[in-house]
Amino acid sequence: MAKKSSSRSKSPRRVSRKAKSVKSLPEHEFEFGGPVGAFATMVALPLVIYFLYFAASSTYKCNLVSIADIREVLMDSFKLDTFFNVNAVLYVLGWLVLCVSMERFLFSEIVEGTKLKNGSTLKYRINGHLQFWVTLLIFTHGYPRFGEDGKFIGLSSFKLSWIYDNYLPMATSAILISIALSIYLYWRSHRKGVLLADGGNTGNRIYDFFIGRELNPRISDFDLKEFCELRPGLIGWLLINLGCAAKQFESDGAVSPSMVLINVFQGLYVWDALYHERAILTTMDITTDGFGYMLAFGDLAWVPFTYSLQARYLVENDPQLSIPVLCVICLLNFTGYAIFRGANSEKDAFRRNPQAPEVAHLETLTTKSGRKLLVSGWWGVARKINYTGDWLMGLAWCLTTGFDCIVTYFYAIYFCILLIHRSLRDNEACEKKYGNDWPAYQAKVPYAFIPGVY
Ligand code: NDP
């Protein structure tokens, strides 16, 4: 839960130094346990990536007792080249350059974002969906090769299993790049006239570095936050999964049903996010949160290197699930997807045009702000039914790994915590936005996630 407290009580030094202007200081609120929590989170998250790597590896085989013997793990595994190699850094940097080039040069639709607090709006290049397909084409069919005379001589294919073999050094590269990006973002957020995020301007350096100061950092019209949110990490996750499938094929001569399912399920999830790219422009990540370590690390390191845990585990530990079990898992995933997509599309359509035929019949509650809230359809079932659908998909992903290893269920456990925390943050934001109308809305739609239960 986001513990909130005033920054004045947490940063006495800051107040005394600026005693003269105390009256004009805004009341800031801390989340994530304030500066101490932010610092602990920054240190802990990269360690979790390494922990998960070893915990689900063939050496430790999800044996939590032996993993707990940290000394043994370090003695066994702490060689620099296990964690780091220059090729991996170049590969990850090359991937980022490729993503930026595609964002810049592929055909794009220009879409306006929501109104910012200074009254302006920003324009975004929407071409993530095209980038998804072009990337798949390049990595599965190869990239063009040219002779010395500049003539096209054929396609060179990527060895996708290389990604699996270099998983840990690539994770380290992504961690280092996300830290470097966070430092750059923090530094540039001190320029004059920058639009700062409300939550990232407390004056506490550690906290602001973590949560993100500048709302929409851009280099010319290149939007760093929107780019990182959807492209390198999300599509990178898909490539890692394909790398795992390629590795399994190389060693077993076949790709197992569980591996096929995890690639299809998570591929669908990534495709969906990019197909609905413009929907991200109204999320709190874009409209409210600054761009700092939290999002930079999350987008570039956390998502690709923890969300691919199941595929990586399956390379060496396929559980050989029976067809009925695989069918149940499919049913769970597609039920989750139907709820997730149905709810998100319904709200998106409603917010864009409440008179649109597919949403015009829905019951609404009109708030004093003039904005309406849906109280029927998906949004009448539960206030965060879209999160429930998302979580069900996550559970289905974990189930593809069978029942021998608790570590591969990390995603379902972590995502449950993330979604509860996120819903509390959103709830507070809505309380501020809608005042007394929000409790009235909660009375009409009493359940948060599961109708009749919670
Ligand atoms: P929501 O899509 O739930 O958006 C919340 C906003 O929706 C509110 O602030 C409010 O804004 C509006 N809203 C809430 N209730 C109603 C209603 N009844 N009628 C109309 N509008 C309403 O949250 P997120 O942006 O957090 O999530 C979007 C999706 O992304 C979710 O499906 C989530 O699961 C997924 N997600 C996935 C993550 C991952 O790592 N895989 C991480 C985070 C999210 P307003 O009224 O101003 O429009």
Measured in whole angstroms, how far is the alpha carbon of residue 36 from the centre of its chain? 23
Does 386 fall in a domain?
Answer: no
In the reported structure, the alpha carbon of residue 283 is separated from the centroid of ligand 1 by a whole-number distance in angstroms of 6
* Cβ(379) – ligand 1 distance below 6 Å: yes
In which domain, by residue range, is 169 found? 1-318
| Among protein residues, the one whose CA lies closest to atom 18 of ligand 1 | 374
* Cβ(87) – ligand 1 distance below 6 Å: no
Does 441 fall in a domain?
Answer: no
Nearest to 438 by CA among 447, 427, 448, 449: 427
CA distance linking residue 126 with residue 227, whole number of Å: 10
Does 68 fall in a domain?
Answer: yes
pLDDT of residue 3: 39
Does 296 fall in a domain?
Answer: yes
Does 416 fall in a domain?
Answer: no
DSSP string, 134-177: HHHHHHHH-EEEE-TTS-EEEEEPP-THHHHHTHHHHHHHHHHH
Q: Are 312 and 244 in contact (CB under 8 A)?
A: yes
| Among protein residues, the one whose CA lies closest to atom 13 of ligand 1 | 373
Q: Ligand 1, from 226, 281, 347, 359: best to mutate by most atoms within 8 Å of Cβ?
A: 347
Does 371 fall in a domain?
Answer: no
Does 66 fall in a domain?
Answer: yes
Atom of ligand 1 nearest to the CA of 279: 28
Nearest to 284 by CA among 424, 111, 434, 381: 424
pLDDT of residue 76: 66
Q: Ligand 1, from 266, 306, 340, 373: best to mutate by most atoms within 8 Å of Cβ?
A: 373
- Total tally of structural domains belonging to the chain: 1
| Among protein residues, the one whose CA lies closest to atom 7 of ligand 1 | 347
* Cβ(390) – ligand 1 distance below 6 Å: yes
Q: Residue 104: how many CB atoms within 10 A of its CB?
A: 13
| Among protein residues, the one whose CA lies closest to atom 37 of ligand 1 | 390
Atom of ligand 1 nearest to the CA of 387: 34
Stretches in the chain below the pLDDT threshold 70: 1-28, 67-78
Q: Ligand 1, from 228, 299, 363, 426: best to mutate by most atoms within 8 Å of Cβ?
A: 426
Q: What is the DSSP letter of 302?
A: I
In the reported structure, the alpha carbon of residue 309 is separated from the centroid of ligand 1 by a whole-number distance in angstroms of 26
Q: Are 271 and 200 in contact (CB under 8 A)?
A: no
* Cβ(284) – ligand 1 distance below 6 Å: yes
The chain-wide mean pLDDT, for the chain, equals 90
In the reported structure, the alpha carbon of residue 280 is separated from the centroid of ligand 1 by a whole-number distance in angstroms of 10
* Cβ(351) – ligand 1 distance below 6 Å: yes
* Cβ(422) – ligand 1 distance below 6 Å: yes
